[in-house]
């Protein structure tokens, strides 16, 4: 049965400003279906973003929304969550927003394991500002700042999040909208910091510079590099260069060994913060 | 046919009886032309070639989509889920 996105949108702002076929719309839709899946009331949600094409998303969503500064969405979101722990705080960031200018905020939000959900739309570029290379532009690919091809190795955002202490981490691509929905829903349900990476097409900036100027060729290029994590576990590291590993990287549903997860969360941050509040009250 | 069909008036509609596996069913496809940006993703993801691109002089890239034959639809929802622009409703 069709999904009634209208329920969650500011319809006077639709059609959105994203390019025809832009992957961000597909991720936003998966996110809205996830809100319905967990049954959150709109007024209990705070939807936060930084700056970038991806970060325009809050403008279209009919709930409490905050469009902040580039790279600092997680800092604003942390403030909201600590002041109002009952709110469901969701952050929408681009790869640049989350892992370049906001990289430090990103690893520390993971480290704190604060009960929020971060959706990173990874389109391998700075879409909004003209296609500069980002920490996820693959080696050899062109950007407006790497006209002879990029030589900087990339971050794997999922492995970075896991190593830094995020307690639910998953990745899916815009070719699999249902899978994105499943992981974002699980991220919402998870108590602790959840990171869902959505690999998406920016054909206008990234694609155009790499002989893929339409949405479908970038979607197919993404598809050709997708490897499920179960399969990746059996492959040699060198075979996985330039591949997109999809699936759940950490869930904490099962017990893990130190080697699988050397950063097991000791507590969730808003709960820990409450103990400090209580101590401060006692001293008064 | 118990589900409520909720397609706004400004949507174009196509309807057909369909067979899904061995089961008889009915499909209503809603499409919002004004919101459509002619990206062609619905055409690409549909496993049954239900959608096709057509010329549209009023659109910036000169194209929109239309339903060729609703009776081929298997209600997989792939087009609805992957349209980045909220233009398709499958009931
Ligand atoms: C402090 C600051 N530095 C730089 C910019 C310029 N700027 C705006 S968006 C952006 C990059 C966006 O890339 P990403 O976060 O990947 O989002 P996308 O547009 O690709 O969705 C930059 C560098 C800014 N707005 N503020
Ligand atoms: S520039 Fe890229 S990321 Fe921005 S709206 Fe266009 S396709 Fe999407
Ligand atoms: S629901 Fe599936 S079969 Fe029907 S038109 Fe959409 S993509 Fe094609
Ligand atoms: S996917 Fe949506 S916006 Fe793109 S052509 Fe189809 S209906 Fe139009
Ligand atoms: Mg980006």
Parallel, antiparallel or unpaired: strands A125-126 and A132-133: antiparallel
In a domain, A4, yes or no: no
B45 CA distance to ligand 2 middle (Å): 20
In a domain, A5, yes or no: no
Please tell me which of the candidates B35, B84, B91 has its beta carbon nearest to residue A21: B84
Q: Residue A195 domain-assigned?
A: yes
Q: Does B85 touch chain A (CB under 8 A)?
A: yes
Is the peptide bond prior to A15 cis by the omega test (within 30 degrees of 0)? Answer: yes
Look at residue A266 in the predicted model and tell me its pLDDT. 85
Closest ligand to the CA of A51:
1
Q: How many domains does chain A have?
A: 1
Note the pTM of the prediction, 2 decimals. Answer: 0.97
Domain assignment present for residue B70? The answer is: yes
Is A6 inside any structural domain?
no
Task: Please tell me the distance from the alpha carbon of residue A283 to that of residue B5, in angstroms, as a whole number.
Answer: 60
In a domain, B25, yes or no: yes
Q: Is residue B74 part of a domain?
A: yes
Q: What residue's CA is closest to ligand 1, atom 11? A: A126
Taking alpha carbons only, the member of A106, A131, A119, A135 closest to residue A174 is: A119
Q: Give the model confidence (pLDDT) of A245-261 as tens digits.
A: 999 999 988 888 888 88
Predicted ipTM?
Answer: 0.96
Q: Is residue A109 a contact partner of residue A116, using CB atoms and an 8 Å limit?
A: yes
What single DSSP character describes residue A128? T
Say how many Å lie between the CA of residue A258 and the centre of ligand 1: 36
Instruction: Check whether B1 has a pLDDT greater than 60.
Output: no
Q: Which residues line ligand 4 (CB under 6 A)?
A: B 36-42, 65, 83, 85, 87-88
B20 lines ligand 3 (CB under 6 A): no
Q: Give the atom of ligand 1 at the shortest distance from the alpha carbon of A94.
A: 15
Residue B41: which of A4, A18, A21 has the nearest Cβ?
Answer: A21
Number of domains composing chain B: 1
pLDDT confidence of residue B2: 55
User: By C-alpha distance, which of A156, A165, A71 is closest to A122?
Assistant: A156
Whether residues B37 and A219 touch (CB distance < 8 A) is answered with: no
pLDDT, averaged across chain A? 97
Tell the burial category of B13 from Cβ atoms under 10 Å away from its Cβ (0-12, 13-18, 19+): middle
State the pLDDT at residue A263: 79
Nearest CA to ligand 3 atom 6: B79
Q: Does B15 touch chain A (CB under 8 A)?
A: no
Give tens-digit pLDDT for B17-62.
999 999 999 999 999 999 999 999 999 999 999 999 999 999 989 9
List CB contacts of B52: < 8 A, sequence separation 6 or more. Answer: B43, B65, B66, B68
pLDDT digits (tens, 9 = 90+) for A192-213: 999 999 999 999 999 999 999 9
The range of the structural domain enclosing residue B48 comes to 12-90
Q: Tell me if B2 is assigned to some domain.
A: no
Which residue segment(s) compose the domain that A54 sits in? 14-283
* Residue A258 forms part of a structural domain: yes
Indicate which atom in ligand 3 lies nearest the CA of residue B90. Answer: 1
Q: What is the per-residue burial (b if ≥16 Cβ within 10 Å, else e) of B15-25?
A: ebebeeeeeee
Q: What is the CATH number of the domain that holds B65?
A: 3.30.70.20
Query: Counting ligands in written order, which one lies closest to the CA of residue A57?
Result: 1
CATH number at residue A109: 3.40.50.970
* Residue B44 is assigned to a structural domain of this protein: yes
Q: List, in sequence order, every beta strand (DSSP E) within chain B.
A: 12-20, 23-31, 51-55, 63-67, 88-90
Q: Is residue B5 part of a domain?
A: no
């Amino acid at each position: 049965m069709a999904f009634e996105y209208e329920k969650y949108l500011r319809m006077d702002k639709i059609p959105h400003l994203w390019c025809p076929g832009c992957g961000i719309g597909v991720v936003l839709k998966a996110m809205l279906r996830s809100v319905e899946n967990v049954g959150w009331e709109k007024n209990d949600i705070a939807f936060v973003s930084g700056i970038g094409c991806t970060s325009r998303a809050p403008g279209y969503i009919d709930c409490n929304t905050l469009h902040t500064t580039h790279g600092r969405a997680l800092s604003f979101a942390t403030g909201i969550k600590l002041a109002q722990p009952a709110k469901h705080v969701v952050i929408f960031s681009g790869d640049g927003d989350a892992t370049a200018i906001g990289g430090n905020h990103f690893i520390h939000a993971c480290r704190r394991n604060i009960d929020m959900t971060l959706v990173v739309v990874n389109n391998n570029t700075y879409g909004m500002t003209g296609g500069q290379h980002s920490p996820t532009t693959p080696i050899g690919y062109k950007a407006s700042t790497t006209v002879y091809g990029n030589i900087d190795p990339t971050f794997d955002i999922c492995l970075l999040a896991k190593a830094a202490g995020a307690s639910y981490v998953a990745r899916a691509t815009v070719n699999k909208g249902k899978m994105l929905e499943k992981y974002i829903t699980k991220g919402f349900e998870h108590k602790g910091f959840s990171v869902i990476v959505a690999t998406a097409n920016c054909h206008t900036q990234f694609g155009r510079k790499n002989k893929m100027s339409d949405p479908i060729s970038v979607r197919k290029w993404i598809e050709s590099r997708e490897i499920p994590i179960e399969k990746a576990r059996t492959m040699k590291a060198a075979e996985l260069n330039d591949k997109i590993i999809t699936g759940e990287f950490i869930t904490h549903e099962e017990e893990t060994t130190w080697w699988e997860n050397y950063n097991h969360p000791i507590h969730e941050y808003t709960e820990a913060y409450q103990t400090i509040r209580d101590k401060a009250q006692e001293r008064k | 046919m118990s589900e409520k069909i909720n397609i706004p008036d400004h949507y174009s509609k196509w309807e057909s009886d369909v067979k899904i596996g061995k089961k008889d069913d009915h499909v209503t496809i809603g499409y919002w032309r004004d919101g459509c940006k002619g990206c062609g993703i619905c055409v690409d993801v549909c496993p049954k070639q239900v959608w096709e691109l057509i010329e549209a002089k009023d659109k910036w890239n000169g194209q929109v989509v239309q339903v060729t034959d609703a009776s081929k639809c298997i209600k997989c929802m792939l087009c609805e889920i992957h349209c980045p622009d909220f233009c398709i409703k499958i009931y």
